[in-house]
Structure 1
Amino acid sequence: MKNKFLYKLRSGKNPKFIYYAINACRLLMPKFFFRMRLHNRLETLSRRNDRTYIEQRVNYYNKLTGPIKLPSTAPHLAEHKIGKQKVYFFDTYQYTRWFPVRFQWGFCPGDVTYIPQYPSIVKSRPLTLHNENSVIMKLDKVRHFIFVNDKKTFESKKNMVIFRGKVKGKTSRKKFMEMYFHHPMCDLGDVSKNTTDPKEWQTEKKTIQEHLDYKFILALEGNDVASNLKWVMSSNSIAVMPQPTCETWFMEGTLIPNYHYIEIKPDFSDLESRLQYYIEHIDEAQEIIKHANEYVKQFKNRKRENLISLLVLEKYFKVTGQHAL
């Protein structure tokens, strides 16, 4: 119990009690206050120097082209209440409160790897053709959107790759553990509970700072995306992974292999050779770190991120024949 408590204090992850406190306060604020300001907030787009960039991101997350008619059974915003998945409610409510409660929408909380039957708000979508019905918003951000200030240089880090994550029920992660658990260039550990996988895989969690002792950090997809990818790409270590199959607000589908991260084959067979290459080619490794850090910067402008979120929803309601303005 003591170790678990100390880990929470030192993990480097976003403290959830602050997140819940902020969102509890949001629930106390009258919705009409935001609806009155919606027009003016959206109008700020026309005065921004980065308007084109913002519009590109809005259209990336929301690929819908109208008009589209939602089914009559689609829920209204008035029905949007706190359920078991509280973070998904809070992360959507932050923006749905700006719009009339009579509006209808589709909403699929959780790790979504399928395409909804009709246009719906999701955290994640598969990187496939015809995924327009999956409209991405920045959800479960308290867990996914973590960035670090890494003061350790790449050269000073261990010539190894580290992985700490849940393996239970995740086929690709289990395969990786079976292939590389005893490999001298790998520090691997399974933090799953109540698992039937090998006991030797089981280990305690490591803090983010402890991960940063390693040159390479494995970013393997679990149920959908690799949740550690954001903070890894903000560090002086390098994410190692196959090309992603899903994406979130982080736009994983736009990442360039061996430019933003080190790509390995989906069967993991070339892991050792890929690591050894970048151990021997420090300059190329540092270029990847530079590009990854630059990519992350676009998500750190909170005011702009909030505007993009509102515009994604506004486009959703317009395309589906609902007009707030």
Structure 2
Amino acid sequence: MNERLEYWVKIPVGPIHPALEEPEKFIITLDGERIINVDVKLGYNLRGIEWIAMRRNWIQVLYLVERICGICSFSHNHTYSRAVEEMAGIEVPERAEYIRAIFGELERVHSHLLNLGVAGHAIGYDTVLHLTWLARERVMDILEAMGGNRVNYAINMIGGVRRDLEEKHRRMLLDMVKYYREEVMPKIEEIFLYDPTIEARLRDAGVIPKRIAIEYSAQGPTARGSGVKKDVRYNEKLGVYPDLGVKPITPKEFTGVIKGDVFDRMVVRVGELWQSLDIIEHALDQMPEGKIKAFAKDNMVIFKLKKAEGEGIGRYEAPRGELLHYVRAEKG
């Protein structure tokens, strides 16, 4: 028997654990502080979404996919809508695309603030948790005011959005952007870029080299933290995003280096928070007047979809990485 095996330790993490957002289990084998192997066990939260979707109509599935993930409910709803719109040849009004972009960035702000707070809590730095989650309440209030709910905003529909952006919402958004830029982001940037506690705990931890990130198809801030300049909004020129100044954020823009560790992944999220605020402001400035739905009456979309056949793919850069929804309709 290898003498080193005597010193290996197996630590189970999950399926229920404070650091995990969903039920999953990792059996981690350690040699000191070096990870030797990870046995991943998933499937604890399998709900058969695909099977259920095949037995519902297009509109019912719209509500179903929104409940795949509470943190990124808009992202799934939006991606599914884009897939169906591609399949049925439905053109979304430009104003609706701008409203979708605003909702997408609001969701990105709340998701990144949540993630930064959880990271602080996981390393015992609860001051970070309290700061970020307090700041997150502002964007959650905006989402509730504009969509009607703090979670599952139900803003998307096939061919557009359900609710228009009113002047009071515009004022709320501009006030929120100003608040975050002046009072929240300087503190968050100071903590995650310069705090010695954060650097000591996160720097050189969980390193994913760029080659490995590409080989294993890493997505979202994880990939960009390793230097992979991949963002569906930018690479696929999604919707109105080409006009809103979106670009992939990497840690090199802030620290001058890319190490692909947990520290870099947090830096990417900080950078994307700044960018989301810019995108929201640009969208408000550039948004045209006009329709927010492709159809004058909501029931017209049902008749359109009943005659649809073919397939469609929807892609979107959710806060934690790329989403892809595939739909297919067969005649009869």
TM-score range, shorter chain: under 0.3
Q: Of Structure 1 and Structure 2, which has the larger fraction of its residues in helix?
A: 2
Taking structure 2 as the reference length, the TM-score comes to 0.26
Q: Which has the higher contact order (CA 8 A, sep 6+)?
A: 2
Taking structure 1 as the reference length, the TM-score comes to 0.27
